[in-house]
Amino acid sequence: VAAAEVASRRRGQGVEGRTPAFSRFQATYLVGYYLAMLGDWLQGPYVYALYKDQYGYTGGQVAQLFVCGFLSSMVFGTFVGSLADKLGRKRMCLLYSVLYIISCGTKMVNSFWVLMLGRFTGGISTSLLFSTFESWMVCEHLKRGFTPDQLTETFSRATFGNGVVAIIAGLVANAAAEEFGHDDKPNYVAPFVVAMVPLALLGVVVLKFWPENYGDAGAEGCSAITRAWMVVRSDPKIAALGAAQSLFEGSMYIWVLLWTPALMQTTSEGESSSDYLGLIFAVFMICVMLGSSIFAISAAALRQHFVYIPLGVGLAATAANGAAAVMLDDKLAVFIWFLVFEGCVGVFYPAYGRIKSEIIAEEVRSAVMTMFRVPLNGVVVAVLLQMDNLSIETMLKLCALGHLLSLACYGLFLYFGPWARRGRK
């Protein structure tokens, strides 16, 4: 309700210079983006349950499958993502659709190595999802001469709508698992089959309505990676921003693995908090939506000073995870702090998206953005390999530390950026 209230205020303010051409462009992008995220969200809640509960793999085998996905995203996803600047972002968005459909299809086969193949293709898909789509949109936005404020609105609406899509996906996935289950047991394969539908529709939308755009079309795959690395290495503000993003998102992905066990509690009446995971997830997504709307309003008010918003996000995220670790036995307090953190996530994505659009050169945008995900995936893999040796409290403290380091890196980004130079003058 709060998210809807703030969103209505944002829409009431309007965007200066909005034209029918911009509205059509924004709608074309958001339809494709929402379909891509719907295909991803439909799978998320049931990956672990499918491997562990339905197919009966051990905890060690499940960890191997997850590690394969993150390693695939880190190594092969980086190479494939960098090709987007040369071969075209539209083609890579289509590749995302194909690879993720293959990944969903493997979930229907109870074979460890077939599932491993699905994790491999899924890891590449994830890397494409969080780099190529944004690169395509920013390139088209700038090419058509739309304003920075309109770009902020598109990022904010993408994050806000993503929250709505996640809630819908959770309800649909749960209904599919129950509908196609048997002997009072849900069928965890069903959500993955359903996910193929929006992924296929995404392919149609991209193929029919999205024009192709490129970065440096003359670069080879390996040279694109080398050039992106040189950009990051030679520009301290881009390196600092990449480190800040990787640390924030890496800590966030670790948190995704923690929130369910951190909230688990059985009452004296035998009622478990696991009975309300769907409702808890929905409330989390509403907080993400609220965060995206807060960013839109704050960015409009602060104008060029919007770059300071992530400082507050970093502080709040550090405090939220740190406090949750300290108050772990008080499940209500932990839940409230987790809501604060999800609100931070809702601000993080549109804020960083707007900033990256202004400082990363168009010709290497996809390659640089996929390179940002290398340390991110490395952090998650390292923690996954040690999960059996770490308590939930310790991992939450590691998340808080990751967000604190992210905040420090973002401070360096501001120091090296043009905003600090203007202030020093």
Give the alpha-carbon dihedral of 56, 171, 348, 141, to 10 degrees.
Answer: 110
Structure tokens at 249: 């998102």
Residues found in the chain: 425
Q: What is the predicted pLDDT for the residue at 311?
A: 94
The Cα–Cα gap between 153 and 295 comes to: 10
Task: Tell me which amino acid residue 50 is.
Answer: L
**Backbone region of residue 214 per phi and psi (left: phi > 0; alpha: psi in -120 to 50; beta: other values):** beta
* 11, 56, 65 from 111: Cα distances, Å: 49, 11, 12
- Predicted structure pTM score: 0.80
> Tens place of pLDDT for every residue, the chain, 425 residues?
454 445 544 554 455 557 889 999 999 999 999 999 999 999 877 887 788 888 988 877 888 898 898 888 887 766 776 677 778 899 999 999 999 999 999 999 999 999 999 999 999 998 889 888 988 998 899 899 998 888 888 988 998 898 889 889 888 888 888 888 887 788 889 999 999 999 999 999 999 999 998 876 555 545 666 777 788 888 899 899 999 999 999 999 889 878 878 887 655 554 445 556 667 878 888 899 899 888 888 888 887 788 999 999 999 999 999 999 999 989 889 999 999 999 999 999 999 988 888 888 777 777 787 778 788 888 888 887 887 788 889 999 999 999 999 999 999 999 887 655 544 44
Beta carbons of 321 and 337 less than 8 angstroms apart? yes
- Distance CA(401)–CA(66), nearest Å, equals 23
Q: Which residues contact 329 (CB under 8 A, 6 or more apart)?
A: none
pLDDT in tens, 292-335: 888 888 888 887 788 999 999 999 999 999 999 999 989 889 99
Q: Look at the block and give the residue holding tokens 């809807």.
A: 4
Residue 87, token pair as written in the block? 């071969």
Joined tokens for residue 213 = 């755009």
Q: Say how far apart CA 254 and CA 406 lie, in whole Å.
A: 14
Instruction: List pLDDT tens digits, range 239-295.
Output: 999 999 999 999 998 898 788 788 876 555 544 455 566 678 788 888 998 998 888
Would you say 138 and 281 are in contact if contact means Cβ atoms under 8 Å apart? Answer: no
**Tokens 């309800």 appear where?**
171
How confident is the model at residue 369, as a pLDDT?
79
DSSP states of 166-182 as a string? HHHHHHHHHHHHHHT-B
